[in-house]
Each structure stands twice: as C-alpha cells, then as structure tokens.
Amino acid sequence: MTDTKTVYVGCGDWSGETGKIQVFSLDLERLTLELGQELAAGGVAAFMARSADGRTLYVADETQGFLSSYAIAAESGELSLRNRVSSAGHPVYLTLDQRGAALATCFFAEARTQVFALEPDGSIGDSTCLVDSGRESHCTVFDPSGRFLFVPTRGDNWIAQYRYEPGTSTLTPLEPARVTEAEGAGPRHITFHPNGRYAYLVNELALTLSVYAFDGETGQLSPLQRGVPAAPEGSSGGSSADVHVHPNGRYLYVSNRQDERSNIAIFALDPDTGRARLCGHEPTRGRTPRNFALDSSGRVLIVGNQSSADVALFRIAADGERLEHVSSRSVPPGPFYIGIY
C-alpha cells in the first residue's frame, strides 16, 4: 500500500478576495505532490488546524475576519464547508484544545485572543472567551497537557500566559500574566519540545530563537537562552516567521524571510537541557517562507514561499540535521499556510 499524506495549502493575498485552499496527496515514497482539489476560501486562508479525529479542518480568514469549518472526506481528504462564523478581529492563527471541544485564535490588529466552542459535528459554535492578549498577537499554543495557553505578541514584545478551563473553554491570566522578551525581539510563534519540558520561541524582528523551561504544574515559562541567531552570519534584513521541532526532539527548524536569500535555519537541540545550537541553513528556493510543516514521521518538510507563490518539498535526513530539496511547484496567488496530515 502506498504511504500517503494529505497536504493542505492555504493561499491568498491582502486584497481580500483571492483566498483558496489546495488539497494535495503526498506520496512519501516517491516524494511527489498530486493536486486533488482546489476551492475558493474567502479573502485569504491564513492558517488552519485539523481535528484529532481527522474529520474536520478549521480555517482562519485573516482579511475577512471569518473562521470556517470544513468536513474532510475520509479517503480523498477533500473538503466541504460546514459552517462559517465571524470572529472579533482578523485571525492569524488557530489551535484546538486537547479535547477537541474548543478552538482558540488571536488577532494581530485587534490585540486579542478568542475561544470558540465546537459542536459535536465539528461546526464552530459560540464564542466562550475574549481577552486582551497584547498588540500584534500572533499565535495561540496550548502546552502538551492542554491546561495552559500561550500567546506571543510582536507589538508588546511579550508572551501572554493563561490557565485554560476546559469545562467552560475560558482563559484566566497566570501570575505573572506575561513573560517579556529581549528588547526589540518581536515574538511571533512558539512550540513545545516533544518531552514537554521546553518551549521554543521564534522572534520575528530580531531573527532569533529563545528557549524556555516550562513548569507543567504552574504553567510558567522561564528563559534558558535568548538571542540565539537564526539568520546566516553576516546577513542583514528580513524577518523570521515559523518554528517546528523534529519528532525525534533533537533538531528544530526556523524559517527566515530574507528575499532571494530566504532559508530554513537548522538547530541541534539537547533534550536534557533544552538548549539550542545553530547548525546551518538550507535555501527555500523561493521568497518569503511564511509557514512550513513537517510530516509526523519527520521525513518530509514542505515550505510555503509566499512572495514567489510556490511550495518547496524537502527530504529530511534520518537524523534530522540536513534538508535535501526535491521539488518546487507554483501555488498562486501565494501560500500562507502548509499542513501535512
């Protein structure tokens, strides 16, 4: 039987009328992408999240301010719209709580974070919580236990920290309510190590990585490393965007948007201490790598180059330290999000 995955690519631009979703089949043996479906998706399909049971895909429309729920066909992975709701702002990120009973999003322009209840059929229900998380809130990430939520804010230069109540799908600020980053860093995306003891923050403006220890009892983040350079030595300009840890927990990747020199930074991780060490860079073969994804086996990395309107597929070395470019393909008007499921 062919080993395949479904890849969802969310596209669009800032005009607010060109959003679309492309559904690909990824052959993990031959490392090929085959387009199966393309559908209109409002203004821009800026971010997505899939339910744990694989039956629903949630999509954030950043320009039109909508959240959408799509039913996923079991065999093909193709999508059909279930429902669409208005949010309290222009959503830039989505994540599901551990039970799959609520959806959290945040708003860059409106400086807020919102939680929505989910219906048993996967439809998006009513809003359960709306909090002021900070200027230019950029992502909403639960800790591995699902008891805490973290929101990096580029404009206020902090990570907002919340306790999450599953019964009511509400957020309460921790004490302290935020962790301030190094001056001018510009926190953007955060992710956890597979062992649950460490969190890794990519700083958009400084093009750096920060490493935090995570206390699973209190929900607090404590800095271990700050200002670890993510850009190639001697380079200037640009910004960092996305961050993911390899499933083996020994490597981490960061996307750097540096025009024709755009790249994926590769870090070695020490699972015992959490510390990160920059190993090298791999060009993305395109411009403005806004988002990228790894498959669950850690064999494939796909990056979406927004400005050059293409996706690039890479083979990941067995140990995770090297990336080998396999192919690229055009996906106009430009990819915002890549999801491999």
pLDDT > 70 fraction of the chain, expressed in percent and rounded? 99
Is residue 60 pLDDT above 70, yes or no?
A: yes
Rounded mean pLDDT of 31-36?
Answer: 97
List the Cα angle 332/334/337 in 5-degree steps: 125
Determine the pLDDT at residue 187: 98
Rounded mean pLDDT of 73-84?
Answer: 96
83 falls in which pLDDT band (50, 70, 90)? very high
Rounded mean pLDDT of 56-65?
Answer: 97
Map residue 199 onto helix, strand or coil: strand
Distance CA 51, CA 48 (A): 10
Contacts of 234 (CB under 8 A, 6+ apart): none
Map residue 259 onto helix, strand or coil: helix
14 falls in which pLDDT band (50, 70, 90)? confident
223 falls in which pLDDT band (50, 70, 90)? very high
Domain edges within the chain:
44-180
Structure tokens at 259: 């025009």
Rounded mean pLDDT of 254-260?
Answer: 98
Contacts of 4 (CB under 8 A, 6+ apart): 25, 26, 27, 28
The answer regarding whether domain 44-180 maps to CATH 3.40.50.300 reads no
Determine the pLDDT at residue 1: 54
16 falls in which pLDDT band (50, 70, 90)? confident
Structure tokens at 33: 């992408």
Beta bridge partners of 306: none
Map residue 260 onto helix, strand or coil: helix
Determine the pLDDT at residue 105: 98
Rounded mean pLDDT of 192-217?
Answer: 98
Query: What is the per-residue pLDDT across 138-189, written as a single tens digit (0 to 9) for each?
Result: 999 999 999 999 999 999 999 999 999 999 999 999 999 999 999 999 999 9
Is residue 311 pLDDT above 70, yes or no?
A: yes
